Structure 1
Amino acid sequence: MTPHRKRKTQTLGRATPKSPDEALSDTRENGRPVVVASACLLGQAVRYDGGHKHAPHLDVLAEHLEIRGICPEAGAGLGTPRPPMHLVEADGQIRLRECHDPDRDHTEALQRFAHDHIPLLARADGFIAKSKSPSCGMERIPVKDPQGNFRHYGSGLFTHRVRCHLPCLPVEEEGRLRDPALWENFLQRVFVHRRWRQLRAEGLTPARLIDFHTRHKYLVMAHSVAAYRRLGRLLAQVCRLSLEALGTAYFTELMSALAQPAQRGNHAGVLQRLAGCLSGHLSAADRRELAEAIERYRRGEATLEVPLTLLRHHQQRIRDPYLARQYYLAPYPAALELRNAI
């Protein structure tokens, strides 16, 4: 489901808000991805003014993911309500200071909170940050000099630390997730991240790593054929590299590739490859209908879901065992309907 479609949803995080420790520790391994979000986006009254910034378009996630809230400023003991903060560059460092009293510096408190909680975020599969926040914002956060003059843009202190320590964790701001393509890309990465965590929990072996790659190959190709080739060359070293080093290098390359938006031409190429796997079982009319649907998508006259629906329809009848294992056809729960708008 895209963020723009209206439906009855579950309100998140209002009835029984948890402390950051409780929220992040409560990540039961039930197969659902865990996404951590700035607590104010879930309706929790933790903002500097005592309010919240509930983001209704995130409510749909409650049906398919485990959602956990976190507020670095409140969790660092800065109080709610509290004076507004901004970022200041002083002596080569980015500091978190109060807007109206620059002598009150809360950088160390926030850094202690990040140090304690980033290991807990390593159990998650994604982070949704609050835009424009000096602690949580992902990008374009104003950084000023000690005199209050604008110097440059940066990232919120907490989110910056998260991205440095957990570079493979999918991170997005709630405002950007109103874009259907970014919404789909983020959740795609979240589910890939979850499957990787499950693989690591089961135990990484060469066979499992190759199988993981095989099942994700078309998903990667839709984002970057070059990255798919690099991953293949990397896996060719499975007998020469330590498995731990190989797994880390593989997953880093994989998540970097998936973070790049998939292009329409790449999707069309993947669709044609999948159609080729089924062509021997299709009538001439079915092959022509499928080819026309793919071409309509390539020209921007149809959404991605149109040719995918046809492919899945034929696959349900033919039951090709190779295609049945490809995550490209079902990278996340179908009820999310994410490909209807891209």
Structure 2
Amino acid sequence: MGIPVGISACVLGQKVRFDGGHKRNRFADEELSEHFDFKPVCPEVGIGMTIPRPVIRLLDNTIDVRLVDSKDNSIDYTDKMIAFTDNQLPSFENLRGYIVCAKSPSCGMERVKLYLDNGNSVPGGSVGIFTQRLMDKMPWLPIEEDGRLQDPVLRENFIFRIYALDDLYRSVAGGVSRDSIIKFHSRYKLCLMAHDQQAYRDLGRFVSDIHQWDDLDAFFIEYRQSFMDALKNRASRKNNTNVLMHIQGYFKRDLDKSQKAELRDVIMRYREGNLPLIAPLTLINHHLKVHPDSYLADQTYLELYPESLKLRYSL
């Protein structure tokens, strides 16, 4: 079975938008669907709105943000949308991520148009009511807009977080234990080093103190949030280079002079932006097959997700 991921129904091609159309995202529908078990949801249909239906918008009434009819502010759908979202949340507990529809007053993740009573819009916009509630109640969950998936860096980071969260849940499927957490964390050390070096150090200390915790479920909740927050920080070229050079050190006794020079050259060319990340990783994985190392072999940094997704070809 694929990894369970929520998605706005219109992004998956369902004709549920206000005008009876859809916003199908080809990458999600054709490529990600081979790996993810998508759970489509249209919150507006979920609260009983018709297809087609009147246009709705976000309104700043100086107290809070409301979801209202675009032509009649007195027709307010906010409470219905919040109740619908809260009712759905228990079924979202097993999700590893969520793809939402950009600019939607219910599903947009950022810069959704926010209006004042006089018809002017607020600079910067807001967040859709459904997605805001989802982010508030499940802050560890990877959430991304369909349009932002066109950016190769944002796409890679989002999908990596989905696979990492899925791996975390699978690691504790038999119950949260000190051993399962320590083993999981050990496999993600290089990933954390690439994404957030301060979090790498902080989480290392946190996990080293796990034996002081009697309530392992409470430890897991705190670890999950800190771990997923760290991965939100996109791995920089500088941090990736540091990790690659760190990995290079594991081969210092196995490679001859020319092989070391070749690996160093490929890493430097990546650092300078002349090669994608996949180039040094391919060479490292080749050397790892010839010269096995149990620690490196366990590091998810070297193989995060299916190669067919080609996510590291543009990094």
TM-score w.r.t. structure 1 length? 0.89
In structure 2, the residue matched to 1:18 is: none
Structure 1 residue 95 corresponds to structure 2 residue 43? no
Q: Which has the higher contact order (CA 8 A, sep 6+)?
A: 1
Q: Counterparts of 1:239 and 1:67 in 2: how far apart (Å)? A: 38
Offset of residue 236 of structure 1: 2.1
Q: Could you list the runs of 5+ residues in structure 1 that have no partner in the other structure?
A: 1-29
In structure 2, the residue matched to 1:141 is: 112
Comparing 194-203 and 170-179, the one that deviates more:
194-203
In structure 1, the residue matched to 2:206 is: 234
Q: Which amino acid aligns with 2:100?
A: A
Q: Counterparts of 1:77 and 1:136 in 2: how far apart (Å)? A: 16
Q: Counterparts of 1:146 and 1:95 in 2: how far apart (Å)? A: 11
In structure 2, the residue matched to 1:7 is: none
Comparing 85-94 and 124-133, the one that deviates more:
85-94
TM-score w.r.t. structure 2 length? 0.96
CA contact 1:98–1:104 (8 Å) conserved in 2 = yes
Q: Which amino acid aligns with 1:305?
A: I
Q: Counterparts of 1:229 and 1:194 in 2: how far apart (Å)? A: 23
Q: Deviations over 1:220-253 (max 9, x none)?
A: 1001111100001111221222322222222211
In structure 2, the residue matched to 1:77 is: 48
Q: Deviations over 1:57-80 (max 9, x none)?
A: 222001111122111001111111
Query: Number of aligned pairs?
Result: 312
1:186-225 to 2 correspondences below 5 Å:
186-225=158-197
Q: Deviations over 1:252-273 (max 9, x none)?
A: 1111111011110100111111
Q: SS in structure 2 opposite 1:87?
A: strand
Q: SS in structure 1 opposite 2:167?
A: helix
Structure 1 residue 306 corresponds to structure 2 residue 276? no
CA contact 1:88–1:95 (8 Å) conserved in 2 = yes
Q: 4+ runs of 1 displaced by more than 6 Å?
A: none
Structure 1 residue 45 corresponds to structure 2 residue 18? no
RMSD (Å) for aligned C-alpha atoms: 1.2
Q: Counterparts of 1:335 and 1:57 in 2: how far apart (Å)? A: 13
Q: Counterparts of 2:266 and 2:171 in 1: how far apart (Å)? A: 35
Q: Could you list the runs of 5+ residues in structure 2 that have no partner in the other structure?
A: none
Q: SS in structure 1 opposite 2:16?
A: coil
CA contact 1:234–1:246 (8 Å) conserved in 2 = no
Q: Which amino acid aligns with 1:258?
A: L
Q: Counterparts of 1:34 and 1:115 in 2: how far apart (Å)? A: 19
